[in-house]
Amino acid sequence: MAKESLTNYKLQITNYRLFREAKKVIPGGVNSPVRSFKAVGGAPVFIKKASGSKFLAEDGKTYIDYCMSWGALLLGHAHSEVVSGVKKAVEKGTSYGAATKAETEFAKIITRAIPSCELARLVSSGTEAAMSAIRVARGYTRKNKIIKFKECYHGHSDYFLSGKSAGIPENISRDVYSLDYNNLEQAEEALEKDKDIACVIVEPIAANTGLILPLKSFLEGLRKLTLKHKALLIFDEVITGFRFCFGGVQNIFGIIPDLTCLGKIIGGGFPLACFGGKKEIMRHLAPLGSVYQAGTLSGNPVAVQAGLKTLEIIKKPGFYKRLNEKAGSFYKKIDGIIENKKTNIVLNRFGAMFHFSFKDKKQFSGFFHNLLAQGIYLSPAGDEVCFVSAAHTDKDFEITLKALNHLKERLV
Ligand code: PMP
């Protein structure tokens, strides 16, 4: 056996052993399904610690990370200023379940940065944000049904998983229209026909089934249609919020929804998310109104500090310009490799977010494992996007390009 394959074989043994132990006490060995490597095969990499653009795994190998906690880490792992902010916060108490000044400060930043958010409520996960947004939409409009799109993901609450998962009550599925992304006619037909639609929820750039850019006419059309039919438009910006600019995709496209969901980046790697919208709508939430929504750990002081520090750093002039340019020149070099080798891979990209798309989906697992063996960690599922962070260096890109070059020779 070649030396390289022998080393990788040993690494695999560590991963399989840890995975076997985990499976004895955790369903499928993981606390979120996509971590299990089910989509790519083999045992998942178990992470020991991380810093900047890389993590060290229990198998003893260091990997360049392009998953970045599924987009949560815009600054990379364990950014020193975020860590020191968090350390200070921890010493002052880890949870109060009561109001703090920092939450107001945080909400002020969000409401200034995101045009649709006049009031914002903090929660702990993107799922909670999206689930709460549709509840307030239903309470406000006094209608029941929702329109969502098949290519989008909004977390694991019942409404969003209808048709995709066992365990969802039939009556809930009946209230959900699951339509095709970028197909305005379908949305129009549903809204014309059914007067009980409370809201349309959409990722303004779809980033959970590869990377799909919206047609301008699609988002603009949804805005017009929802206004016409007195349904609310919800942008789920859990991935896209603060990824491309200090704000959301709504700032870039100039389309203002009624409600917005945020998560990932705003928590700086901690469980923090939020949803916000027009005062008139958000006032329906308890304690002001009758739509109930709550959380013991909502606005947790440690998470809020991590978020505040992150937002402070990424707000600095030039941050996004540098990040987007860096990502852009990396992609150009990848395009060059793809072209040179005449592969059937397409690199889709928008700002510091990218996705390798294959004609034959099955090819992804070989591609993933080849790169993994060379110390490059992509999001471990063909449908998932990858991320460039502020921590990625030219050296990281150089190593990645070399790995891609190497791999292409073997793949094609
Ligand atoms: N909305 C979108 C667009 C997401 O990508 C995700 C998670 N990937 C969620 C909601 C759910 O967020 P969480 O995993 O924090 O519950």
The tokens for 368 are 């993933």
The whole-number average pLDDT for the span 192-217 is 98
Per-residue pLDDT tens over the stretch 266-313: 999 999 999 999 999 999 999 999 999 999 999 999 999 999 999 999
Q: For residue 155, report the phi and psi dihedrals to the nearest 5 degrees.
A: 100, -175
Q: Give me the DSSP letters along 4-27.
A: HHHHHHHHHHHHHHHHHHHHHHSG
Q: Which residues line ligand 1 (CB under 6 A)?
A: 70, 125-127, 130, 153-155, 203, 208, 236, 238-239, 263, 273
DSSP element (H, E) containing 50: strand 47-51
More confident residue, 2 or 107: 107
pLDDT of residue 159: 94
Q: What is the pLDDT of residue 53?
A: 98
How many angstroms separate the alpha carbon of residue 294 from the centre of ligand 1? 19
Taking a C-beta distance cutoff of 8 angstroms, is the pair 209, 203 a contact?
Answer: no
CA distance 196 to 199: 9
What is residue 408's predicted lDDT score, i.e. its pLDDT?
62
The secondary element (H helix, E strand) that includes residue 260 is strand 259-262
Separation of alpha carbons 245 and 113, rounded Å: 10
Q: pLDDT class for 409, splitting at 50, 70, 90?
A: low
For 94-142, write each residue's pLDDT tens digit.
Answer: 999 999 999 999 999 999 999 999 999 999 999 999 999 999 999 999 9
Report how far ligand 1's centroid is from the alpha carbon of 216 (Å).
23
Mean pLDDT of the chain: 96
Percent of the chain topping pLDDT 90 = 92
Residue 344 has pLDDT above 90, yes or no: no
* Best of 151, 264, 355, 385 for a ligand 1 pocket test (most atoms within 8 Å of beta carbon): 264
> CA 105, CA 406: separation in Å to the nearest integer?
49
357 against 2, higher pLDDT: 357
Strand partners, 56: 49, 62
The mean pLDDT value for 341-353 works out to 93
Tokens (6 digits) for 8: 């990788």
> In a mutational test of the pocket of ligand 1, which residue from 201, 238, 355, 379 has the highest number of ligand atoms less than 8 Å from its CB?
238
Question: Pairing between strand 145-149 and 197-202?
Answer: parallel
Determine which residue's CA is closest to atom 12 belonging to ligand 1. Answer: 126
Query: Which has the closest alpha carbon to 300: 80, 41, 95, 29?
Result: 95
Question: What digits encode the pLDDT tens for the residues 234-266?
Answer: 999 999 999 999 999 999 999 999 999 999 999
Report residue 412's pLDDT band, with 50, 70 and 90 as the boundaries.
very low
Predicted confidence (pLDDT) per residue in 34-48, tens digit: 999 999 999 999 999
> Which residue has its alpha carbon closest to ligand 1 atom 5?
239
Q: Cα 342 to the chain's mean position, in Å?
A: 31
Q: What is the pLDDT of residue 79?
A: 98
Residue 411: per-residue pLDDT: 58
Q: CA torsion 115→291→161→250, rounded to 10°? A: 0
For 117-127, the pLDDT digits (tens) are: 999 999 999 99
Kindly list the catalytic residues.
153, 236, 264
